[in-house]
Amino acid sequence: MVPFRFFTSFTLQEATGLRAATIPQLVALLKKVPEGCLYYHTHYFLLTHHYLTPEPTNDFAYWISEVLKEEALGEQLASLDIMAHATLEGLRETLVSTIEAYLARTPTARMKFASEGEEFFFVKSLHVIMPTRYQASTLAECVDALSQIGIHSLYFHIFEARLRIGHPTNDFALWFEQWGLKELAERVATLDPYGQTLEALRSVLISLVRQELARHEIAHAEP
């Protein structure tokens, strides 16, 4: 089997100087900011707050709920199904249409202003990707590596590989597919990683691979 090579990725944050004080300003900027901004504001909080259960929401939802106090729209944005989007452009369309539809039926939301310093500041993510010292040629090695890799490596293969790098699904699912483990690949591909902490996600992955390993051991033990 072709070994899994574990990579990791570190994020640098680049300021754009673009800021919104109202929801109409936010949606106008959402239409034109680079994809790196969309990725940053819908994903970076997963890394910075990965120890909190439940995690705070994505940056758009947090700002609209906590700063502008437009909780109904905040809830809608917090519950966006990011997994249903194959590209950041698709995610952009959903964000824009959700906010515009809300503004159309809630005209008073246009009047909400963030005070000085509490505006929404658009940030873009830059990524430095590098190989780690971990690789796996068997399911057992995969369990070992999964338990040892840093949180950034896990984050890279699950989130960044799909939406920022453009892989069709998360890397683990792709690897298992290549190893011919179709059932495991499908279970990993359909995991919703957005509703859990990164450590919880690590445990789920390890558990799925262990189950597969146990199944293989039983199959080999049978005469």
Partner 1 sequence: MPSLDDYAPVVGRSTIEELRDVVKPLSGRRVVMVNSTRLGGGVAEILQRMVPLLNELGLRVRWDVIEGSEPFFVVTKKFHNALHGKTEAITSEMFDVFLEVGRRNAERMDLDADIVFLHDPQPIALVEQRGRHRESRWIWRCHIDVSRPNQLVWNFLTPFILQFDAAVYSASAFAQQLAMRQLLIAPSIDPLSDKNRELSPEEVAAVLRRLDVPQDRPIITQISRFDYLKDPLGVIEAFRRVRRSVKCRLVLAGGTASDDPEGEEVLSRVREQAKGNPEIHLLLLPPDSHVEINALQRASTVVVQKSLKEGFGLTVSEALWKARPVVASAVGGIPLQVKHGYSGLLVHSVEGAAHAIKQLLHYPEYATRLGENGREHVRHNFLLTRHLREYVLMFLTVGSAQEIFHLA
Strand-pair partners of 19: 121
Q: What's the closest the beta carbon of residue 95 comes to partner 1, in angstroms?
A: 19
Q: Does 12 bind partner 1 (CB under 8 A)?
A: yes
Q: Does 138 bind partner 1 (CB under 8 A)?
A: no
In the complex with partner 1, the residue whose CB is nearer, 119 or 171, is 119
Contacts of 127 (CB under 8 A, 6+ apart): 9, 10, 11, 12, 160, 164
Task: Determine the longest span between alpha carbons in the chain, in angstroms.
Answer: 73
154: left (phi over 0), alpha (psi -120 to 50) or beta: alpha
Q: Which residue has the tokens 């040892």?
A: 148
Q: What's the closest the beta carbon of residue 99 comes to partner 1, in angstroms?
A: 20
In the complex with partner 1, the residue whose CB is nearer, 122 or 175, is 122
Q: What's the closest the beta carbon of residue 72 comes to partner 1, in angstroms?
A: 19
Site string for partner 1, 59-78 (x = CB under 8 A): -------x------------
Cβ distance 62 to 74 under 8 Å?
yes
Q: Does 200 bind partner 1 (CB under 8 A)?
A: no
- The stretch near partner 1 (CB under 8 A) out of 93-101, 111-119, 138-146, 199-207 is 111-119
Pick from 10, 16, 4, 44: which is nearest to 124 by CA?
16
Q: What's the closest the beta carbon of residue 6 comes to partner 1, in angstroms?
A: 11
| Amino acid (one-letter) located at 173 | A
In the complex with partner 1, the residue whose CB is nearer, 7 or 176, is 7
Cβ distance 62 to 80 under 8 Å?
no
Distance (Å, rounded) from C-alpha 100 to C-alpha 91? 14
Site string for partner 1, 116-135 (x = CB under 8 A): xxxx-xxxxxxxxxxxxx--
In the complex with partner 1, the residue whose CB is nearer, 57 or 169, is 57
Tokens of 125: 């993510």
Residues of this chain that interact with partner 1 (CB under 8 A) are: 8, 10, 12-19, 34, 36, 48-52, 56, 66, 116-119, 121-133, 148-152, 164-165
